[in-house]
Amino acid sequence: MTELVRDTYRYRELIWALALKELKIRYKRSVLGFLWALLNPALLMLVLTLVFSTILRFGVPHYAVFLLSVLLPWTFFSQSLSYAVESIVSNGDLIKKVRVPKLVFPVAALVSNLINLGLSLIPLALLVLAIRHPFYWTWLYLPVPLLALVLFTLGMTFFFATANVYYRDVAHILQVVLSAWFYLTPIIYSLDFIPAHYKWIFKLNPLIYVINGFRLSVYYGLLPKAPSIAASFTCGIASLVIGFMIFRKYQDQFVFYV
Amino acid sequence: MSSGLPAIRLENITQRFRVIQERPDSLRELFSKFFRHQSQVHDFDAVRDVSFEVPEGQMLGVIGRNGSGKSTLLKIIAGVYRPTAGTVQVRGALAALIELGAGFHHELTGRENILLSGLLMGYSKREMLEREERIVEFADIGDFIDAPVKQYSSGMYMRLAFSVATEIDPKVLLIDEILAVGDAAFKEKCFERIRRFREADKTILLVTHAMAQVADHCDRAILLDQGSIMADGPPDEVIEIYKNSMLMEAVGAE
């Protein structure tokens, strides 16, 4: 664990440069360039708002805010994983030629998506103002679930990046896992919609605690209860410890398999 | 002045590669292998129990035929491979020119790549920005410096890579084959720089097939054969042994 903290700090400039490179390449050759990082979520919000305020009505007021308050963190989670799973393999050429701590690649994949998430909060705030949803002071609480989410995501990226070095099927399996996970997590719906005797199954999902934190603070203007916060950090730390241990065990072998 | 301590020290280095015939690359293969027999695995030592020291300020040429373990050895010293057994010590900052522009990203411009490859080598952004102009100047590729490197010719690529690696002022420089490309004028410029490095008491390890480079520039040569050191000494003598062994083989093959 000290290795993780030490190398992340020591190579922070490299990680930042790699993350920016990732974004730069993603928006390369588009006229609007970096603006897409803002436009993408903004347009998505526009579509969602139109669809759910006119065509589909769930009886959830300001459904777009209800949805986006957790869809944006979910997008960060799933995109980080999708990028990171390939991060070791796609940087194989580099790993074969330069001595560099391997952890910079999954971490950079996460950081680039973190930048995206940060940017997408701007249109979300604008949306909240535009549809006159109350702008709660609990927005200030967001860094807490965000931290738990980053820990959890980082652990998962380490695990999937490692597994994909050995079996390239992992990247494909991940996509299936992510889409199932998406529907099993209360993102488009609320846990309240679930019959009481099934709820325990949903509570096994490590993501729901952190998701809960985002929705409560942005949509309801409430803070999560202490056990929920504790659960979100327990999941986050467990994921990071296990994920990084696996990564660390195999990282010296990566060079032979990429 | 040199401190007398070795700049590079290798002790009993062995690098074992596990060669799996048809390593399962996907789960489907893994399952089918699982139900049949275990895939054949054999180990082979690309480098076998190699020990040597390179004193500070020495220029060492490493020669040997293809597959003798030269490049593997260089990668071990560079820290790219962690050896199966043995210890490596390198004193001072190291720059490795293992391949043309390792760490260059095709979509980024030359200038952006200078920064990125510097960061990859563990230098800070500030250190790289300080050196940027000198790197650009030495590479001497004109306006291309602000174009994506995918548009570069291999010669331009190499100029920039060599410029980055030497301008960061390492104590130890590893060079693998790369001086084979580039035009005569730039090659001369490179060797001029290598001469200055030597005057500054820097340690250089050169892997090459060009015997003339070893004879002209190195203080010492090592001949590798099947992962072991076959000869170690003055360049002329080691080159002689190498040539004889090639000759013997050619005669023996008849």
The nearest alpha carbon in chain B to A94 belongs to B103
- The SS3 assignment for B224 reads strand
The CATH number of the domain holding residue B59 is 3.40.50.300
Residues of A in contact with B121 (CB under 8 A): 98
Residue in B23, B21, B69, B28 with CA at minimum distance from that of residue B49? B69
Segment B28-36 mean pLDDT? 65
Amino acid identity of residue B21, one-letter, is Q
| Minimum distance, in Å, between the CA of residue A86 and any CA atom of chain B | 15
More confident residue, A139 or B38: A139
Q: Containing domain of residue A146, as a range? A: 2-257
More confident residue, A88 or B94: A88
| Minimum distance, in Å, between the CA of residue A225 and any CA atom of chain B | 43
B43 has a chain A CB within 8 A of its CB: no
Tell if the CB–CB gap between A169 and B27 is shorter than 8 Å.
Answer: yes
Query: Among A66-70, A239-243, B165-169, where is mean pLDDT lowest?
Result: B165-169
What's the total number of domains in chain A? 1
Mean pLDDT (chain A) is 90
| Minimum distance, in Å, between the CA of residue B116 and any CA atom of chain A | 7
What's the total number of domains in chain B? 1
Residue in A225, A222, A236, A198 with CA at minimum distance from that of residue A110? A236
B38: in domain? yes
Query: Among A60-64, A103-107, B19-23, B147-151, where is mean pLDDT lowest?
Result: B19-23
Residue A146 has pLDDT above 70, yes or no: yes
Tell if the CB–CB gap between B120 and A94 is shorter than 8 Å.
Answer: yes
- The answer to whether A169 and B30 have CB atoms below 8 angstroms apart is no
The CA-atom distances, in angstroms, between B137 and each of A48, B131, B134 are: 53, 10, 5
The region that residue A146 occupies, defined by phi over 0 for left and psi between -120 and 50 for alpha, beta otherwise, is alpha
- The answer to whether A236 and A88 have CB atoms below 8 angstroms apart is no
B249: in domain? yes
- The SS3 assignment for B245 reads helix
Which 8-state DSSP code applies to residue A147?
H
Q: Containing domain of residue B175, as a range? A: 6-92+171-253
B121: in domain? no
Amino acid identity of residue B71, one-letter, is S
CA-CA distance, A64 to A76, in Å (whole number)?
18
Residues of B in contact with A167 (CB under 8 A): 24-27, 30
CA-CA distance, B197 to B199, in Å (whole number)?
5
CA-CA distance, A81 to A109, in Å (whole number)?
8
pLDDT digits 0-9 by tens, B129-152? 999 999 999 888 999 999 999 999
> In the prediction, which pLDDT does A181 show?
95
**B232's tokens:** 């170690």
B200: in domain? yes
Q: How confident is the model at residue B1 (pLDDT cuts 50, 70, 90)?
A: very low
Residues of A in contact with B80 (CB under 8 A): 95-99, 255
